């Protein structure tokens, strides 16, 4: 599998996983709690896989984006462990918070790496996509901290999930051949 294809596949697997996880974190009258949890589990599995594929596509072991994708994958696996392993509710919540913070840290590394690049439309959109993911993960972590302290987090987790999903889809669009800027310049 070529590195460009692997990176594109990884970006889309991560984006689909992020959307599935957002669906799983959105209260629904038509879907059971078990179904929503399954969406969240599958979504985090896909995000971890997508980030791992994106990291593997980068050959330089000291590339900030590679390291960021690896950290994001670890963050998703941390969230996933809280969803599937038999821990008490406090431990599950702590794993969710730590996993979201790891994802935000990994996304921040990718943003930092993009800041050194030439300012093309693709690079700007990549910065925005990664920044939205960082913001979304941070909001989810804040929501978890509030819940852990028995405070009302409102819809902060849902909002954070969807902000992250928008950022992941934007990042996948930028990663794709014939990306946004190429399409815009052909119009």
Q: What is the pLDDT of residue 179?
A: 64
Structural domain containing residue 107: 3-176
Average pLDDT for residues 11-37, to the nearest whole number? Answer: 97
Residue 182 within a domain: no
Greater model confidence, 120 or 99: 99
Residue 140 within a domain: yes
Q: How far is CA 139 from CA 96, 145, 168, in A?
A: 12, 10, 15
Average pLDDT for residues 108-119, to the nearest whole number? Answer: 88
Residue 184 within a domain: no
Is the pLDDT assigned to residue 107 strictly greater than 80? yes
Residue 107 within a domain: yes
Say what percent of the chain tops pLDDT 70.
Answer: 95
Residue 158 within a domain: yes
Residue 187 within a domain: no
Is the pLDDT assigned to residue 182 strictly greater than 50? no
Is the pLDDT assigned to residue 181 strictly greater than 90? no
Residue 185 within a domain: no
- As for how many domains the chain has, the answer is 1
Q: What is the pLDDT of residue 186?
A: 44
Q: How far is CA 105 from the centre of its chain?
A: 11
Q: How far is CA 32 from CA 38, 51, 67, in A?
A: 10, 29, 37
Residue 186 within a domain: no
Rounded to whole angstroms, the Cα distance separating 1 from 7 reads 10
The pLDDT tens digits of the residues spanning 74-83 come to: 999 999 999 9
Q: What is the pLDDT of residue 45?
A: 98
For 150, counting Cβ atoms within 10 Å of its Cβ (0-12 exposed, 13-18 middle, 19+ buried), the class is: exposed
């Amino acid at each position: 599998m070529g590195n460009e294809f692997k990176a594109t596949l990884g970006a889309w697997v991560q984006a689909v996983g992020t959307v599935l996880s957002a669906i799983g974190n959105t209260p629904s009258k038509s879907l059971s709690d078990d179904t929503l949890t399954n969406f969240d589990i599958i979504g985090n599995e896909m995000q971890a896989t997508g980030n791992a594929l994106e990291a593997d596509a980068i050959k330089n072991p000291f590339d900030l984006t590679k390291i960021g994708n690896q950290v994001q994958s670890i963050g998703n696996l941390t969230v996933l462990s809280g969803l599937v392993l038999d821990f008490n509710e406090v431990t599950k919540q702590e794993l969710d918070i730590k996993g979201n913070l790891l994802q935000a840290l990994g996304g921040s590394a990718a943003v930092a790496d993009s800041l050194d690049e030439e300012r093309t439309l693709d690079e700007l959109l990549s910065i925005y996509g990664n920044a939205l993911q960082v913001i979304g993960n941070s909001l989810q972590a804040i929501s978890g901290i509030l819940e852990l302290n028995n405070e009302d987090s409102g819809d902060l987790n849902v909002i954070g999930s969807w902000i992250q999903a928008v950022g992941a889809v934007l990042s996948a669009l930028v990663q794709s051949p014939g990306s946004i800027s190429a399409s815009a310049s052909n119009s």
